[in-house]
Structure formats: structure tokens, C-alpha cells
Chains A and B, each alone.
Chain A
């Protein structure tokens, strides 16, 4: 087992929440990803032992869901929405811009391991289309120009914590709704920032 004690404790805490151990599989895969940036064979082995199912069962589930990555992702996972509201609001221009800047095709990671680019389906930001997510932190009302600024900023600063509110204020445009609430929570890995996976950071 190559998960350290801290991670195992965290995993057991998650498992305890559920009436049946197997229900913890999804959250444990998120946890595995916060460690490695993808679902490694090693994590599959650990998880299968923790909840008492076979490695193939774990793998079968992990390959079903698009957020569980089968290969290492870069430091920043760039997800650009291409569903209907974004599509008719020129998301294709934003996609082109991202590809031009990064030189990446769909689901590719650059050699330096900084950016992974993916085209994704609806992320629930339709009122602020076109929208983009950096490590699952949403920025709405993007243009090719603001996309370029966003990438320049990411490259230059390489922030440890990605916070939706900060990105929206710096680079975003039209929003789905007035956000009102200021919030400094974000994510410190290319997985959704959520308390139970220990990826939430406070930004300075």
C-alpha cells in the first residue's frame, strides 16, 4: 500500500459516512486523483482493498466517469464548455484560442505538465456563456481576448490555489447571475475543491 497514513485515515473517514462501503468508491477515486492527478494502478489496488471489491470493479467504475482521468493531468485542467448555450455564444472561438495558445488537442497535456486541455459538456454556466473551468473553478463570459489574458496570468503566476471568484473578477464577463457572495475557497489540484478531499485552499 502506498497511500500514506494520513490519506488512509481520510479514506476511512469517507467510508464511514455510508451504510455500505462501496458507496465511498466515487469519493475515494476523487481522493486518489487529488494525490496523483489521475487514477493510478496503485490507487486502484489500495481502493479495492479498502472497500472490499475487485480491482477490475474499481477500474470499471473509474473509466465510466469523465472526471476520473486515466492519464496524468497538468497542473491546470482547462475545460471549455461546448454545449448548446455556449456553442451559440461562440465557444468555438474560445476553444480555438486555447488550442492556439497551448498547441494542445482535446484531452492532451503539454510536455511541461502545466496545462491539460479538454472540451466538455454543459457546466451549468449557460447564462454566462461561453464558460470555462480551470481545475473545476468556473469563469463565465469569456472571449478569445480574455482567454489569452487568463493564460498569460496563469503562466506567469502559476498560482497554487485556483479560486473561481478571483478568476471571474480578473477575466470574466457576463455572469449567469450576480454572485454577490465573496468567497476565497478554491482548489489546489486538478480535482474539484471539496472539503472531504482536502483540496480546498484559502487564497491570500
Chain B
């Protein structure tokens, strides 16, 4: 198994200065945007994106071409790049922001050309100070060369980009919460409908909200055609994808691969195996929101459809491996406590439910659990996500609450005994 390098090529070829505009231009940079703006039509660009069948890389996997096609015509429209990467296990956008910010900017120029947009924002999570500085530098470099601002590349197109720093709220990765945050409000997800920011988004104007990796793919797709991109990977999961591999692995890191290999092969080859030759007990296939899979399921293929068939999701591409020595109750507690901390507080089932789940798991993990706690955990979960099915049903505005249910149902389904063993038994005196 080998990497297929489209988005991470430049940072490998120029490891010490791939973020600079000179290097970017030396390695073919901004040529695609220049050519597109002078020779193509917006419709042609849209068609390439639709032909590529690329799906959004943020987590939801919504087809990008469809999203662009839904953008309503209006005098005032916006592009917002979602760089609020905070799904535990995920660090792939960080490398794209830090190491190749111009690739993102070029992708944004082409996107805005296709959608006739003249104002764009990059919403970067506040904790990503260093990536944000790099992106801000890159934006300033692009302005100084005339690639942003008025009449870019000498054409009639104008584009301004603002780098906006978040302030530590995972929920702002949810696109409507992100838009509220960008409007200077609390980062609370909006009540739907309207369902799509492409219809009513920032300031209630049509807005494209796309992930960093998605838009960073645009220059390659437009240069090499959507049909070529569509040949990579497998049907339903085309192109390459950057997976963030972490946990008990010899060589954790970001790997750009075509989707279609199995998790086991991924771990053994690129990840160079499990630390200390241990066995995998459980793993998370797509970020903390995704239900866990077990060590027996490593043969599952890393495609959106295959993982979905096994009642989980490829999500943000964050693969977390947990070896046989892992205390899974503690692991679940960590994830649940994450969601409890990040709940925005609007919906009662999520606000109260995640807090209770955290408290109950805490007492189980510390050996003070009650025999009724297992059922109680599932009952609270059922109030957040009725039926405990996958994909989850919701009693909440956004999927954050139901995400906290994932680790618990995984635990109860596959490792119930491990939880039971942590409950103290009664001793007759």
C-alpha cells in the first residue's frame, strides 16, 4: 500500500519552504487559477467538480458539486472555508494550512470564480495560531502579487479573503454555528429550515461552506479534469483523502491515500504496525463522533460506503487505534466528556444528557459504579438519540448530542463485559 500524493506533494518536494509564494509559483502554483479565470467559464469549472464526484472532507461527506449547484443567485454571496478542525483525532487540515496555504487560496479563487463570489472567509480555530499565521502571511503575499483584491490576474474578477480566528468551540465546526460565530454571535447551530447555507447562510445570504481539504483539492481537479479525479479511489469515494492516524501505532501521522484499502492494511503498512506488537482491541474509523469498530473488523475497507454499511462513518478521516491494554471505559469517558464540554447548551437532551453520561461513566471508571448504571447509560443515550440506531435519530438541532452516544453504544455492544467488570460486586458479610 502506497500513498497517492496530490495535495501533499509540494510539502514533500519542498519540505522547508512549501508555504512561500515563490516556491508555490515555482511548482506550478496559481497557473491553474490564472488559466481558469482567463479561459474557462464558471459552468465549466462546476462541471469538473461535479464530474470528480468529490465529497466534502469535513465529515458529513456531502457531494461538493451538488452543494455548489445549490447556491442561489444573489448580488451578495460568500465563500466560507471551514478550518475549525476540532474533531478529536483529526489533524489533517492543520498540515494543509501550515504547509501549503497557497494551494487553499488558489482553490478559493477558482471556487469563487465558479460561483461568482467576491468575498471569502477562512474560519480557523483559535488554537491553530501557527497555521493561522501562515495562512495570513500567504493571503498577504497573494494580495501583494495581485492574486487577490481588485482585478485579480488582470481579469475583471475581484476577491477579498479575511482570515478569521475562532475562540475554542468545537461546535463551530457545524456550519450554521460557524456562520453564527462569524456574524459575532454565540456559536449555536441554527434551527433548520433553512437547511442549506447555499440558500441562506452568512447574513442570511447564499453562502458556500467548504472544508479546507475539499477546496485544496480544487486546483488539482480543475487542472487534471474531474474525470481523472473520478478514476482515483473507488465509486462513491473518489479521489485521495488525507487520513490522520493516531493512537497505539508505531508511525502515527497524516497519510494521503486513495480510498479502498482496508484499515488493517493501512495500519500494518503506512502505520508500521501496532506499538509493542500488541493487538488492536477497538478503533475509531472517523473521528470521535463515529461508533467504534473492533479489532476483528480491521478488514473493513476505508470507503464511505463500506464503513457506513458497518454502522459507523469515515467522518473526518481520523483513525484512532486502541490496543489490547486500553481501558475502554476511560476512553469512552474521554469522548463523552469532550461532548459534554462542547455542547452549546441549546437543546436539553444534549446539554443535560451529555453531562449525566459523563458523571455516570466517571463513577463507573473510578470503581463506584452501580449495577443499574449500564441500563441507565443506555436509557440516557436513548433520550438523546431514540432507538440508538445508526445513522442516529436526533432529538436535537445538530448531531453533537447523538455523537456522544456513539462510544457508549459501541462499548455496550462489543465490550459490555469490560464495563460490567468495573462495577463492584456486593460482598456478603
Contact = CB atoms under 8 A, between A and B. Distances in A.
B330 A87 contact: yes
A61 B344 CA distance: 12
B390 interface: no
A172 interface: no
A64 to B, nearest CB: 4
B19 interface: yes
Interface residues of A, number: 60
A185 interface: yes
A24 B182 CA distance: 8
Contacts, number: 198
Contact of B136 (A18, A30, A51, A195): A195
A76 interface: no
A101 interface: no
Contacts of A193: 129-130, 133
A127 interface: yes
B413 to A, nearest CB: 18
Interface in A39-57: 51, 53
B90 A124 contact: yes
B165 A194 contact: yes
A19 B248 contact: no
A88 B15 contact: no
Given A18-B162, A30-B126, A83 B331 contact: no
Interface of B: 11, 15-19, 76, 85-91, 93-95, 98-99, 119, 125-130, 132-134, 136-137, 162-170, 181-187, 203, 244-248, 252-254, 284, 288, 318, 320, 322, 326, 330-331, 334-335, 337-338, 341-342, 344
Given A84-B89, A183-B134, A193-B129, 19 more contacts: A22-B184, A25-B184, A26-B181, A29-B167, A30-B126, A84-B335, A85-B246, A89-B247, A121-B86, A123-B127, A126-B246, A136-B126, A137-B130, A176-B95, A177-B95, A180-B18, A181-B18, A183-B130, A194-B136
- Kindly list the 10 A-B residue pairs having the minimum CB-CB distance in the complex, ordered from nearest: A25-B184, A192-B129, A65-B167, A67-B168, A180-B15, A22-B184, A126-B246, A127-B252, A87-B334, A66-B168
